[in-house]
Amino acid sequence: MTQKIPVLQDPTPPFATDGKFHVRLIEGFFQNLRRLTTWPLIALYFGLVWVQVDGQPILFFSFEQRRIHLFGSLLSWHDLPLLAGLMIAGSTLLFFVAVAWGRVWCGFACPQSIWTWLFIRIEQLTEGRANERARYDGSFKSARLLRRLAKHGLWVLLALLTAITFTGYFVPIREIVTAGASLQLSMTMVTWLLIMTALTYTNAGLVREKICLHACPYSRFQSVMFDQHTLSVSYDAGRGEPRAQYRNADENSGDCVDCGVCVQVCPTGIDIRDGLQAACIDCAACIDGCNSVMDKLQRPRGLIRFASEQQLKGSTSPLLRMKLLGYGVIMIGAITAVSYGFTETKSLLVEVQRDRTELFTRIDPNRLCNQYRVKVEGFSDEIDIVRVSLSEHTRFQLLGPTDIDLRDSSSTWLPFRICSTYADPVGEKLDFVFTANGVSTTKATTFITQRM
């Protein structure tokens, strides 16, 4: 039988007081790598909301116009399943990465982690390093209170900018800023911004690691994806044990000098030396911290490193294995399906509804009519005028606007009438034909008569 990897659940930081601890920032290779991944993501988040191409936003979800601007493509709300498919494809990619390299998404690209690190940096900028913050925690000296107020003020400012930017992907950002500058924001918008600001402030500033521990489901089902060959941040107990402080070390001591740096730099407050834990987000801060200590002691790096369970035992882990290949196949299939779906989107959408209050109307003994409502929406900048007609039927006449200007009547229901000059026509299949700039689509209907 396959032996399961033991996982420690929700450990309490050994140095925390009432569950509160102060994260020490560290420099190193993985910290620089995190900057290379997070700063472009932050720039995209705050920048894309302002980018426009030909007067249209590059990424925007319009509830009012019922359309989605997605990097040059114009989608309708009928294409929302494609966005759901895109999220599913992204999830399969996340699962594939988790099988191979653990929770690197959490440590290097997750918005919760990114904003937590930003808030920690603001905390260090205003209140000092971790040891200084711990020393004066709870102090009511005026200087410390001013620093604390400055910290919370900057936290609220960053949270507010985050909320405004997020809202700008659903409501034009320039309208929000202009209305806010002139104090003309609606109460609904003010309430929404306050809620989003409070959530950001709470998650990244006050709650932090508890989101990863209790709210995020990823930490709970990651054990299903992990196996003995998954690379994750690991402590090499064979090399590090038994621990001994540097001055008390002898020839039987391991390389770990029990300095506690790996615990001090951990954003979730765990001790990686206790083994694989659900709270570990594989941010590799402990690797940078431990490597800096090993450099000072002139000992080899890698006491804490990305390694699989098999590698810690002295064996090798294969680059490809069935579980990883399985997730890879699912990932490729999901991405392929979504990519195909985006190629099949329609630039012209029409809806035809029969007037249910009156199935047919007899204008005179020789004239019978059916009432319809028609809505036409274009999802291409090249579609402005849509011509409406009937399929080739000499016995029927279409009454209504033959040309629909989408710039004036998009998303508006327009009345149409189909009439026959015959006294008692037989029920017949008809097709509405909509044509615009080389794009054509049809909608079928049946002409209802007294004899049907």
Kindly write down the DSSP assignment for every residue of 256-304, as one continuous string.
-----HHHHT-TT---GGG--BTT-----HHHHHHHHHHHHTT--S-SE
CA angle 363, 417, 394 (to 5 degrees): 85
Angstrom distance (rounded) from CA 267 to CA 279: 10
**Any idea of the CA torsion for 110, 115, 121, 125, to the nearest 10 degrees?**
170
pLDDT per residue over 144-174, tens digit each? 899 999 999 999 999 999 999 999 999 999 9
> Where residue 451 falls among pLDDT bands split at 50, 70, 90?
low
One-letter identity of residue 261: V
One-letter identity of residue 241: E
What per-residue confidence (pLDDT) applies to 14? 45
Sheet holding 67-70, edge to edge: 59-62, 67-70, 73-76
CB count in 10 Å sphere of residue 200: 22
> Which structural domains are found in the chain, ordered by start?
1-345 (no CATH), 348-447 (2.60.40.10)
CA angle 289, 295, 301 (to 5 degrees): 75
Reduce the DSSP state of residue 161 to 3 states and report it. Answer: helix
CB count in 10 Å sphere of residue 91: 14
The answer to whether the peptide bond before residue 318 is cis (omega within 30 degrees of 0) is: no
pLDDT per residue over 390-439, tens digit each? 887 667 888 888 888 887 755 678 889 888 876 455 567 888 999 988 78
In the predicted model, what is the mean pLDDT of residues 374-387?
A: 84
Q: Which of 6-15, 361-370, 393-402 has the highest mean pLDDT?
A: 393-402
One-letter identity of residue 182: S
pLDDT per residue over 250-299, tens digit each? 888 899 999 999 999 999 999 999 988 888 999 999 999 999 999 999 99
Q: Which long-range contacts (CB under 8 A, 24 or more apart) does 274-277 make?
A: 274/8, 274/11, 275/6, 275/7, 275/8, 275/235, 276/5, 276/6, 276/7, 276/8, 276/226, 276/232, 276/234, 277/7, 277/8, 277/9, 277/11
In the predicted model, what is the mean pLDDT of residues 130-135?
A: 89
